[in-house]
Amino acid sequence: MTQYIPFAITAAYLVAAVIIGVRAGRGHNMSTVRAWGVGDRSLNPFVTYLLIGAGAVSAYTFMGSPGWAFSRGVPVMYVVVYVSFMAFLAWYLGPKVWHFGRKYGHVTQASTITDRYESPVLGGIAAAGVSIAGLAYAVLQTIGSAYILNVMSFGLIPTWMGVILVLGVISIYLYRSGLRAIGMTNALQGVLMFVTAWLVGLWAINHYTGGFSARPIFERLQEDMPQFLTLPGALGDMNYAFWTTSILISFFSIWQAHWISWMGAASPTGLRKATTFIPLYYIMLIPMIVVGFIGIFEYPEIGNPDQVAIQMAVDNMPVLLAGLLGAGTLAASMSSSEPQIHATALTYSKDIIQPLFKLSEERTGKLTRWLIFPIMALIIAPISIAEPASLVYILLIGYGFSGQAMPTMLGIFFWPRATKWGALTGMAAGLLVTVLFSFFIVHPLGIHAGIWGLMVNIPLFVIVSLLTRPSSDRALARYFERKQVAAEA
Amino acid sequence: MQFRSRRPRTARHFLALAIVVATLLLGLWPVVALFNSTELFLGMPLLMTWSIVVIGLTTGAMLLVNALGVHGTDEVPAVHAGGDTQGAEAS
């Protein structure tokens, strides 16, 4: 019976998440977009810190990062670098986005785009485009969650049941409490993930080396397989160009869910404080990466590298620690899928359905939280269960869109001369190039496809903007300072 | 009506931008090439150790710019009272 203790711990996390998530909405009228969508802008700096920090790392922490360390070696560190750099965007842009929300009532990224460019069409396209990435990401995380339940139950919970169970649990507290549920459960998830990663990592190092230094592992790699210690890595696919451009394109991508998280902070000062320290949270990736390096020697024949940490847990770890890893991985995947589901429901209702059907704010508010059910039932669940091979392509297209929206963001924060036609033209051309270089001529010269897309996108964005009429003074005045031209003598 | 693009305009603003850009460059080529070695430092591959250092430097950069008091405007734009002919024009 002790073999089911890890499953019991993993399942206990689900119960805890429901309790915390449901309670999070107390005292707030969740029938309004402001409350359900941005939590009434009430999240304190600690919750904001973990909402953003934990939301960014996902099941990658416990599966992808040890898997990459196992198969490639040191190239895995590019993720550590880019998630840290993404904190710069939250730190610099977050307070501005917060003000857009507070002063102009924006609740989504697409709302700001629509307002700045005076183009519901551009806003709708942005909403649809970023939702592709968000939904694909949510599907991947849901598959990860179902996998954990399957492994921890020794196969008693098949994947399809795990998908339905996880989505069902999320739907309870997400419907009830919106962004506040995500914030509070992410606070629990964030702490759990941080503690678990260190406990598992230190246990694994001690188990395989007898001490708490990872040096013996890397000394052995120096002797036997030095290709794991340097770029381009054991698979030879991470040269300097790809390291650099992969980090840059990830840095340039502002996810809708992150935008909404920024809007949920209680104050811009608190948001600034929280985001300053977000990179330090990602130290927790390091012990799990070391677990992956250990797996090179302990599980050389494993079929799926992403399973190396979980397999190590099931085979060797004390049941309590294995249970924590199960709970931590489940928490990680759920902490990343919830914001995407929430953001998609919010943007579909505010940026597509409301303008299309000219709904009132009240009706939109009531509709928004209900949308999570068809999104989960008709999109996420079936795709998670089917797990089509095309999922990775859908994800790449979605990521590509997020990256190509960067010039549009420049026009919101930095350049008043940007126009909707410049944004649309650049985005369309950039996305075309990104798709071409993602699927057909893959990453030419080792440069990420998204960067090639931006090389076409940005010049077109600038040229077409300069050739077309800017937004009205009324719209621009919301985002930029006016210049008073000195009167002539 | 003319509008100012948002860019550094004072020495402190330029310094803040330089701090952020320098930190970004520390995580990219060509800097990472300096650490791309099989040597170990603090028990880990050099590039792995350097990547961890970059985590700390990122927070350090934000702390430094916060201390400079020029971390970018938090407020929504206000009407600019004085005459100023610098910056791009939205014409």
CA–CA separation, A193 vs A201, rounded Å? 12
Closest-CA residue of chain A to B49:
A77
* Cα–Cα distance list, A151 to A4, A48, A64 (Å): 11, 32, 16
Residues of B whose CB is below 8 A from A417: 5, 88-90
Q: Is residue B21 part of a domain?
A: no
Q: What pLDDT is recorded for position B85? A: 31
pLDDT over threshold 60, residue B76: no
What is the residue extent of each domain of chain A? Answer: 2-243+267-390
Provide the total of helices (H) and of strands (E) in chain B, helices listed first.
3, 3
Domain A2-243+267-390 CATH assignment equals 1.20.1730.10: yes
ipTM of the complex: 0.90
Q: Is A224 exposed, middle or buried (0-12, 13-18, 19+ CB in 10 A)?
A: exposed
Q: Which one of A98, A269, A483 has the shortest CB-CB distance to B84?
A: A483
What is the domain range of residue B47? Answer: 26-68
What's the pLDDT score for residue A278?
96
Residue B2, chain A, CB below 8 Å: the answer is: yes
Q: Residue B79: enclosing H or E segment and its boundaries?
A: none
Does residue B90 sit at the A interface (CB-CB below 8 Å)? yes
By C-alpha distance, the chain B residue nearest A79 is B51
Residue B47 in contact with partner chain A when CB distance is under 8 A: yes
Measured torsion, CA atoms of residues A327, A164, A285, A267, in degrees rounded to the nearest 10 = -100
Query: What type of residue sits at position A3?
Result: Q
Check if B81 contacts A (Cβ < 8 Å).
yes
Q: Please give the structure tokens belonging to residue A402.
A: 């997020």
The nearest alpha carbon in chain B to A473 belongs to B1
Nearest CB to B28: which of A103, A247, A484?
A: A247
State pTM to two decimals.
Answer: 0.90
Residue holding tokens 């603003």? B13
Beta bridge partners of B2: A483
Question: Per this entry, what is the length of chain A?
Answer: 489
Closest residue in B to A94 (Cα–Cα): B74
Q: How many CB pairs under 8 A join A and B?
A: 183
End-to-end CA distance of chain A: 91
Of A91, A219, A282, which has the smallest distance from its Cβ to B55's Cβ?
A282
How far away is chain B from the Cα of A162, in angstroms, using its nearest Cα? 35
Answer whether residue B62 is part of any domain.
yes
Residue B83 is predicted with a pLDDT of: 33
pLDDT of chain A along its 489 residues, tens only? 777 888 999 999 999 999 999 999 898 888 888 889 888 888 999 999 999 998 888 878 888 899 999 999 999 999 999 999 999 999 999 999 999 888 998 989 999 999 999 999 999 998 988 898 899 889 989 998 998 999 888 889 999 999 999 999 999 999 999 999 999 999 999 999 999 999 999 999 999 999 999 999 999 999 999 999 999 999 999 999 999 999 998 899 898 999 999 999 999 999 999 999 999 999 999 999 999 999 999 999 998 898 899 889 888 899 888 899 899 989 989 988 999 999 999 999 999 999 999 999 889 988 999 999 999 999 999 999 998 777 677 777 777 888 899 999 999 999 999 999 999 999 999 999 998 998 899 999 999 999 999 999 999 999 999 999 999 999 999 999 998 765 444
* Number of folded domains that form chain B: 1
- Kindly tell me the burial class for residue B60, based on how many C-beta atoms sit within 10 Å of its own C-beta (0-12, 13-18, 19 or more): middle
